[in-house]
Structure 1
């Protein structure tokens, strides 16, 4: 029974860690898939385009651009970092704290399980219970003790997806706000909308001087896909426990979504691509930063057994190992030819 309980706990925490590790890609891919189907949901997107949150973000983007004096592409990047620092970074830190607490109470469970097993055996003899009755009471006791620990440390497992509650709405609203600016929505006759759209046509950089057109070079869409893939691989390579079958499936799904983002990004104005790349870059930097034990202590994340002492060294070694494997595979293919 204890082995079964241990396996269930490993499955549960492995699944939650997989969801956490791929939060960035999941949020972006889910929202992008919804945006790509806008033609079939005209009424919904029109309502969203005219919504108050989008209007606030749209005004904030214009204010940041006007007061900073930056070109539009820089203003988009600056606003992205600002919004994510205010909204998603605190939620991510809180999520890490919850995950660490859950891992901590999981370490208390083996002793509790052994005690409950002894109590169940004694109760079986005293009250003449059947094996089935004993198993039911035992499972209920385990669940009750687990719930007590969760309440004690205020770390319900549902809180491990709290980042999605902030990141997906922010991602969608800022994407729609930028789309509104490009297409002079919701009121094309507004002077402010016309000025913003005109400035976007000359507010680009390098190979995309006009942010209202798609990136014909595909540099930004490909960069978006690579950054999202990097987020998944960083989390995979810094995981200390062996991956479960469920984790492998989830990682492959998120890899597929990262690749799917590329053709979607090829069909939207460059202003949106700049935002998506900036947002994913922030997510990658955030994940790398929160690998550091010093940073984790500084923001109040408890130390856990699975925490890496030298995460960046391990990450670099894993990258080198994968590079060698790829080289060997390439060499083998060349030999076979």
Structure 2
């Protein structure tokens, strides 16, 4: 069924376009009509998002964990976050590191083949009396074929490097919307009839902790938003150290500029999370802060040489034997750069 408000403003817009003269006096009226139409469309999209089945599933799972364990809502949110990231994110991160190590080994093998391949291609072109420009084309075609075979052989397609993002982002979004729905009583009429949403909201308001006893209102002391920003920035910092160790000394300047730009963009997002968290319910900020803290823990675990051998991540020359010492030196270097 068409939203009546959208239909009403749509008809009004058409009437203005057909019957009103496009002068200065009619301009504001037309602008307000289009603005109302856009606002109604946004509301419809937002209502669809908060009523997605995945969001409702997260709401019900959180409520079941809270009811079965008897843990207050703040503890249920933290326990749910730790469990979800352990089950989904940690295996995905291990897979990403395995693929990165395999690709390093693969490119090393390819680089050992390419010089001989280039010489053989040039010799073949000369013997067959082909035009000179045929050599680079044939060389590129064979090199690409070898690359594809090596990718299949090592099972290290580049898309698997981003497996943690593919898994984390949907669950992070659904869980964030679910917690916000409970805190702010966001539910459709049909949802209100099926689930006791009011009871969950009342429990949220009374089962906070420490300086945030009420999870349905923003953190009054601004501590959780700061933790959110610091934790996400720390994860970006640890990820940049990993990318730096993976990149070879022969990396071109264009890639270095791209990496620097991407890092600056990610740090900017981490900074924006601070004011965004400050206007969100404490329950949502607590989820973001816990997720960021667990991410830091996992990022520190997967660089341990003992853990990497335990989960069978191949050893590569770029792997550091003292990763935690390297992180310490990188932090001191960053501190001195910011200080001076």
TM-score of the pair, normalised by structure 2:
0.81
Once the two structures are TM-superposed, the CA of residue 57 in structure 1 deviates from its matched residue by 1.3
**CA–CA distance in structure 2, aligned partners of residues 299 and 237 of structure 1:** 21
Counterpart secondary structure, 1:309: coil
* Other-structure match for 1:208: 212
Once the two structures are TM-superposed, the CA of residue 39 in structure 1 deviates from its matched residue by 8.8
CA RMSD of aligned residues (A): 1.9
**CA–CA distance in structure 1, aligned partners of residues 162 and 338 of structure 2:** 34
* Other-structure match for 1:53: 54
Once the two structures are TM-superposed, the CA of residue 317 in structure 1 deviates from its matched residue by 2.4
Q: 1:131 to 1:253 in 2, by over 3 A?
A: farther
* Other-structure match for 1:78: 79
* Other-structure match for 1:117: 118
* Other-structure match for 1:196: 200
Q: 1:39 to 1:253 in 2, by over 3 A?
A: farther
Counterpart secondary structure, 1:204: coil
Counterpart secondary structure, 1:198: helix
Once the two structures are TM-superposed, the CA of residue 143 in structure 1 deviates from its matched residue by 0.7
1:292 matched to 2:307? The reply is no
* Other-structure match for 2:257: 245
Q: 1:65 to 1:318 in 2, by over 3 A?
A: same
Quick one: which of 252, 257, 270 aligns to 1:258?
270
**CA–CA distance in structure 2, aligned partners of residues 116 and 324 of structure 1:** 47
**CA–CA distance in structure 1, aligned partners of residues 295 and 181 of structure 2:** 24
**CA–CA distance in structure 1, aligned partners of residues 128 and 326 of structure 2:** 55
Once the two structures are TM-superposed, the CA of residue 139 in structure 1 deviates from its matched residue by 0.7
* Other-structure match for 1:108: 109
Once the two structures are TM-superposed, the CA of residue 56 in structure 1 deviates from its matched residue by 1.6
- Gap regions ≥5 residues in structure 2: 1-38
Once the two structures are TM-superposed, the CA of residue 87 in structure 1 deviates from its matched residue by 1.6
Select between 264-273 and 235-244 the one with higher mean Cα deviation.
235-244
| Cα deviation digits, residues 225-254 of structure 1 (max 9, x gap) | 111111122233453246822211111111
Describe how 1:283-322 pairs up with structure 2 within 5 A.
283-322=295-334
Tell me the matched-pair count. Answer: 291
* Other-structure match for 2:222: 218
Counterpart secondary structure, 1:291: coil
* Other-structure match for 1:99: 100
Higher normalized contact order (CA 8 Å, seq sep 6+, divided by chain length): 1
TM-score of the pair, normalised by structure 1:
0.81
Q: 1:232 to 1:326 in 2, by over 3 A?
A: same
Once the two structures are TM-superposed, the CA of residue 210 in structure 1 deviates from its matched residue by 0.7
- Gap regions ≥5 residues in structure 1: 1-37, 330-337
Once the two structures are TM-superposed, the CA of residue 118 in structure 1 deviates from its matched residue by 1.4
After TM superposition, what 4+ stretches of structure 1 lie above 6 angstroms from structure 2?
none
Larger Rg belongs to:
2
| Cα deviation digits, residues 125-170 of structure 1 (max 9, x gap) | 1122233221111111111100010011111111211122211110
* Other-structure match for 2:128: 127
Once the two structures are TM-superposed, the CA of residue 283 in structure 1 deviates from its matched residue by 0.9
